[in-house]
Amino acid sequence: MTAPARILVVDDEASLRQMMDVLLRRMGHVVEQASGVREARERLDAATTPFDLVVTDLMMADGTGLEVLDHARAISTETQMLVVTAHGSVETAVDAMRRGAYCYLEKPLSVNEARAQVEKALEKRSLLKDNVSLRIITRGLTPEGGSGSLIGRSTAFQTAMEFVRRAAPNRASVLITGESGTGKELFARAIHTSSDRSSGPFVVVNCGAIPADLVESELFGHEKGSYTGASSKTLGMFRQADTGTLFLDEVGEIPLPLQVKLLRALQERKVRPVGGTMEIPVDTRIVAATNRDLAQMVKDKLFREDLYYRLNVLRLHLPPLRERREDLPALIEHFRSRFAAENGRAFVSFSPEALRLMLAHQWPGNVRELENAVERAVTLAQGARSSATTCRPSSSAPRASPARESCCCRPRGCSSRPRSRTSSAASSGRRSSAPRAYARTRRRTWG
């Protein structure tokens, strides 16, 4: 690996931990130590990004290395595992390899052998990372079924795509926050299509569109005759998404009484259909999204705190379009080209006045509003050029960009306050350079 790897060393013998620590640091890696199974779990859970490698003793006072292995692999299947074992427990070490460990090292440790196996394990880790990046390029940026593509070159956009790459191989729940129209479903789909669950279903549930008394049945299914109108048995969205990903859009709209049942389903990985007596195991990854401030809802007793933390394991905040304005030219060109092709218009361009109008607008509806405006402009264009009249955004009260922390990937517990809707006009300097910025984009598509 070109960059230093993050490695966790787990052993209840301080001398062995220190020996491995010195070896790994001399190899140029970043090392953390854990004195047993419990501390290892705590460090694995506390890590903002998964460890690249875990080196663990097999037999320890408070448990076994198999427990560490299972915990680490549940967080990230990319994390590589080296198991250190005494001669008498080789059979157990082989079992560890069947459960996902890269290899085992026998005591007393050979420094050369340990170094060689660490290098091989990290090489495998690097290959897995490259494969995930390739899946993002080939599938995540043009998700099937989406209304658009993930396109951008801004720092905020690239940070979000880096989050997708790091989150995709994991099973941990993801919470995507941001205003309406910022592309939360597209990013959720990119996480799914870039993961090892991509061959499984991607099931979308709009929690705000389901009547409150039917949410439980929609999520968990129901048995025939369980309530008036239940003429047949249904699986529910959790079971439909088995081996895949369940996207809970507008998760903040789930009724408070049902949140405890959703929490149990996430914790136990089991669901009980309405009217059923048995709990059914499910292998479903959860990606949730909301445009509401869940942290504030927790304070207002409108959202369960324990469910909030269960959903908010990995957090991606998508900034509004007005805060990633450098992506506007590429998005305008993408939508222009797409709608021109769909409408059989060989070529439609925008007048300088139309470009200035679009590049100066604050886009309170974000990418969805921009997409709508470009489609309207291309459809109504007379001849090969679209005027400012057809490009005029439908929203009449653009919002100013408030001062805020510029960050796409927020740590657990971080929240965003509602944004100001104050009107703001673009500076004359920005307007004069808009057509040139767009013209440069016409020669280069960002993605």
3-state secondary structure at position 278: coil
The most confident of the ranges 1-5, 76-80, 290-294 is 290-294
The pLDDT value given to residue 418: 40
What is the domain partition of the chain in residue ranges? 6-134, 152-317, 323-398+423-442
d(CA 190, CA 192): 5
Q: What SS3 state is found at 319?
A: coil
Q: Does residue 242 carry a pLDDT above 50? A: yes
Residue 143's pLDDT is what? 37
Of residues 293 and 151, which shows the higher confidence score?
293
**Beta carbons of 182 and 320 less than 8 angstroms apart:** yes
Of 17-21, 113-117, 145-149, 233-237, least confident by mean pLDDT is 145-149
pLDDT number for residue 411: 37
Give the pLDDT confidence score for residue 140 in this predicted structure: 40
Token pair for 93? 């070490």
Q: How confident is the model at residue 423 (pLDDT cuts 50, 70, 90)?
A: very low
Q: What is residue 132's predicted lDDT score, i.e. its pLDDT?
A: 52
More confident residue, 437 or 258: 258
- Taking residues 393-415, report their average pLDDT: 42
Residue that wins the pLDDT comparison between 21 and 418: 21
Q: pLDDT for 169-213, tens place per residue?
A: 888 999 999 999 999 999 999 999 888 898 899 999 999 888 888
Mean pLDDT of the chain: 79
Place of tokens 């949410």: 215
Identify the residue with better confidence: 145 or 155: 155
Helix, strand, coil percentages for the chain (3-state, nearest 5):
45, 15, 40
Instruction: Categorize the per-residue pLDDT at 382 as very low, low, confident or very high, splitting at 50, 70 and 90.
Output: confident
In the beta sheet, which residues pair with residue 370?
none
For residue 314, give Cα distances in angstroms to 9, 15, 26: 24, 35, 32
Q: Are 147 and 50 in contact, with CB atoms under 8 Å apart?
A: no
- Its CATH class, for the domain covering 323-398+423-442, is mainly alpha
Of 192, 159, 158, the residue nearest 174 (C-alpha): 192
**Cα–Cα distance, 237 to 218 (Å, whole number):** 6
**CATH for 6-134?**
3.40.50.2300
Q: Under CATH, which architecture does the 152-317 domain have?
A: 3-Layer(aba) Sandwich (3.40)
Contact 420, 383 (CB under 8 A): no
Give tens-digit pLDDT for 84-112.
Answer: 987 556 667 677 777 788 888 888 888 99
Helices (H), 343-417: 352-360, 366-380, 388-391
CA pair distance 444, 330, nearest whole angstrom: 8
Residue 368 pLDDT > 50: yes
Closest CA to 313 of 274, 341, 287, 332: 287
For 55-70, what is the mean pLDDT? 91
CA distance 444 to 447: 10
Give the rounded percent of residues in the chain with a pLDDT score beyond 90. 39
Domain 6-134 shares a fold with domain 152-317: yes
| 244 — pLDDT class (breaks 50, 70, 90) | very high
Distance between CA atoms of 42 and 361, rounded to whole angstroms? 47
Rounded-to-integer distance, Cα 319 and Cα 182, Å: 7
Binned at pLDDT 50, 70 and 90, residue 425 comes out as very low
Q: How far apart are CA 173 and CA 286, in angstroms?
A: 5
Among 107-111, 142-146, 302-306, 440-444, name the most confident range. 302-306
Instruction: Tell me the pTM.
Output: 0.59
Residue 158 confidence (pLDDT) above 90: no
